[in-house]
Amino acid sequence: PYTLYIALFCYGLILALVFVLLKLADKAFCTFCGGRFCLLAFFAQALVWCSYEYLKTQGFVGFSYGVLGYTQWKNLPLLQNAAWGGVWPLSLACAMVSALAASVLFSAHAIKKEETKKRSPSLSNGKCLKKSLLANRLPLAFTLAGLLLMFAYGAIVLALGKGANPSSLKSVKIICIQNNTDSEKYGVDVYRRDIKNLTELTKEALSQNPDAQIVVWPETAVVPPVEYHYQKRVDFDRVEIINRLLEFVAGKDCAFVIGNQRTVESSPSSSDDYNAALVFDSSLGNVIPPTPLVYEKIHLVPFAEWFPYKNFAPSLYKKLLMDNDRLWTPGSQYVVFNVRSVKFSVPICFEDTFGSLCRRFVLGGAEVFVNISNDSWSLSVPCQKQHLAMSVFRCAENRVPCARSTASGVTAFVDSFGRVVAETPSFQQNFLCCKLKIPQEGSQKKTLYTAFGDWFAILIALTGILLESIALLHALFARKG
C-alpha cells in the first residue's frame, strides 16, 4: 500500500511541473501574437498536455490510466481514428476542446472586468461570452474542422464495415469464464474451490455451446504451477489439484487458455516465476503429461509484480518481496498461438492498456486478442470498466476483435471496431460465449497504427518539446530584457 503514496507524491510533483509548462507556453505564445486570443498558445497547451500523457506511459513505471482519449471509448465514430493514430488523436482532440473552453471562459471574464471599468452598467454575461467567442473564432473554427474530419472518417469506416463481404470472414466461437474469486485469499482449500467453480462453469457453458473452439479462464485462475507440480510431485495436495485439472481438460474437445503461475528452474538452487498463459488442446496431445503452449507476461505491473532495481535499492526490493510474497520475471517473446484454425495472442491483464505492445502481436499474425485479467483487488466496478475502456482501443487500433476473461469483471467480447458486443456483470460467477468474426487467412489488412505504432504520439511529443523550448527561451530572454 505504501507504494501508492509514493506514486501519488510523484504524480503530484509531475503535474505541478506540467502546470508550470502549460502556463509558460500560454504566456509566451500570447505575447508573440500580441494579445490574449492566440491559436498557437491554445494549440501549444494541448500539445504539452498530450506530450505528458504519452511520456507517462513509457518505461518501467509506464501507466496508461488517466489518458484523456480513453474517455471516448463509447464514441464509435471518433474511436475509429485509433486505427491511424492510436488513442493519441482522441487525447489531442479532448485537450484542445478543454483548452478552448477554458480560453473562452477566461476571456469572457477578462472582457467583463474591462467593460466594468469603462461603463456603468457593464455588459451582461451573455454579451461578454459572445464577444469572447468572436475573439476566439479562429481556434473555434480550427477545432471544429478537426473534429468534423475525425467524425467523418469514423462514419465512413463504420459504413464500409457494415458492407463487408461475408465470404471474406470466418468465425471463432469462444467461451470466457468469470469465476468471481477473491485474489487476496490463498491456500490449498481456496485453490480446490476455485478449480471446482471453474470446471462447473465450464461444464455448463460447454453443455450449452458444444461447438465452442476455445475456453478461456482468467489470469492466475490456477495458482499452483501446473508443470512444476506435475513433474516434481513434492506437494501431494497441489499435485492432486493439478491432476484433476488435467483430467478435466483432457476430456474436452476444445482448446483451453488458462492463467497460471509458471515456475521454471533456472539453476539447481533457484527458479523464476512467470505470470503466464498456458494453452492446452487435447487434439495436440499436450495435456497429460502437461506440455502446454506458453506465453509469459512481458510488461509487468511496476512494484506489484516487478522491480528491476534490486541492486540499486535492496531495502525497497526486500520490502516489496515481503508485501507481495513474490515478484515475477518478465517474459520476452511476443507469442502468437495457432490453435483450432485460429491465430491469437494473450495479453495478460494491464498489458492490454498498451497499444505499442498489443500491435506487436498483430504484426506477428494474431487474428484475435484473448485477454485474461484479474481486477478483483480493486473491489470497484468503475475501475474494471476503466480497464475495459482501454481494452476496446486495442481492437480499434488493429482491427482485431477481443475476448476478455476476467476473475471478477468485466468479462466481455469486443469486435474489431471497438464495439462491446457482449459483457457480463461484475462480481458474479458467470460465463459468456460469442462468435467473433475475423478475416480469412491472408485477407487481414494492417492499419496505419499496426504498421507504425505511436508515430502520432511521438510527433506530438517532439512538437510539444519544441514549442516548450521556444517558450522557455522567450521567458529567459524576457527576464534579461
Domain map of the chain by residue range? 2-163+457-480, 168-298+333-446
One of 53, 219, 351, 468 is an active-site residue; which one? Answer: 219
- Which residues neighbour 459 within 8 Å (Cβ) at sequence distance 6 or greater? none
Catalytic annotation present for 397:
no
Nearest CA-CA partner of 98 in 86, 108, 106, 110: 106
In this predicted structure, the answer to whether residue 414 has a pLDDT above a threshold of 60 is: yes
Catalytic annotation present for 349:
yes
| Per-residue confidence band for 244, with pLDDT thresholds at 50, 70 and 90 | very high
- Distance in angstroms (rounded) separating the CA atoms of residues 372 and 298: 14
Q: What is the mean pLDDT of residues 304-323?
A: 76
CATH of domain 168-298+333-446: 3.60.110.10
Lookup: cell for 257: 487458455
Determine contact, residues 403/176, Cβ cutoff 8 Å.
Answer: yes
- Which residues neighbour 12 within 8 Å (Cβ) at sequence distance 6 or greater? none
- Distance in angstroms (rounded) separating the CA atoms of residues 33 and 404: 50
Q: Strands of 270-281's sheet, edge to edge? A: 293-296, 270-281, 255-267, 214-216, 169-178, 430-439
- Distance in angstroms (rounded) separating the CA atoms of residues 342 and 137: 52
In this predicted structure, the answer to whether residue 33 has a pLDDT above a threshold of 70 is: no
Q: Tell me, what's the pLDDT at 10?
A: 79
- Which residues neighbour 187 within 8 Å (Cβ) at sequence distance 6 or greater? none
Catalytic annotation present for 219:
yes
HSE-CB of 47 using CA atoms within 13 angstroms:
22
3-state secondary structure of 56: coil
Q: Tell me, what's the pLDDT at 38?
A: 63
pLDDT tens profile 182-219: 777 788 999 999 999 999 999 999 999 999 999 999 99
In this predicted structure, the answer to whether residue 36 has a pLDDT above a threshold of 60 is: no
Lookup: cell for 111: 472582457
Determine contact, residues 362/453, Cβ cutoff 8 Å.
Answer: no
In this predicted structure, the answer to whether residue 87 has a pLDDT above a threshold of 80 is: yes
pLDDT tens profile 40-66: 777 888 888 999 999 999 988 888 988
In this predicted structure, the answer to whether residue 30 has a pLDDT above a threshold of 80 is: no
- Distance in angstroms (rounded) separating the CA atoms of residues 468 and 20: 11
Q: Tell me, what's the pLDDT at 120?
A: 56
**DSSP secondary structure string for all residues of 364-399:** TT-SEEEEEE--GGG--HHHHHHHHHHHHHHHHHHT
Per-chain mean pLDDT for the chain: 89
Q: Tell me, what's the pLDDT at 175?
A: 97
The count of other CB atoms within 10 Å of the CB of residue 115 is 17
pLDDT higher at 18 or 86: 86
- Distance in angstroms (rounded) separating the CA atoms of residues 118 and 115: 5
Q: Tell me, what's the pLDDT at 179?
A: 94
- Distance in angstroms (rounded) separating the CA atoms of residues 434 and 310: 44
Which burial class, exposed, middle or buried, applies to 167 when counting CB atoms under 10 A from its CB (0-12, 13-18, 19+)?
A: exposed
In this predicted structure, the answer to whether residue 220 has a pLDDT above a threshold of 70 is: yes
Whether the pTM exceeds 0.75: the reply is yes
Determine contact, residues 331/296, Cβ cutoff 8 Å.
Answer: yes
One of 349, 395, 433, 434 is an active-site residue; which one? Answer: 349
Q: Tell me, what's the pLDDT at 479?
A: 67
**DSSP secondary structure string for all residues of 415-458:** -TTS-EEEE--TTS-EEEEEEEEEEPTT-----HHHHH-SHHHH
Q: Tell me, what's the pLDDT at 166?
A: 76
pLDDT tens profile 140-176: 888 899 999 999 999 999 999 887 777 778 999 999 9
One of 30, 297, 367, 395 is an active-site residue; which one? Answer: 297
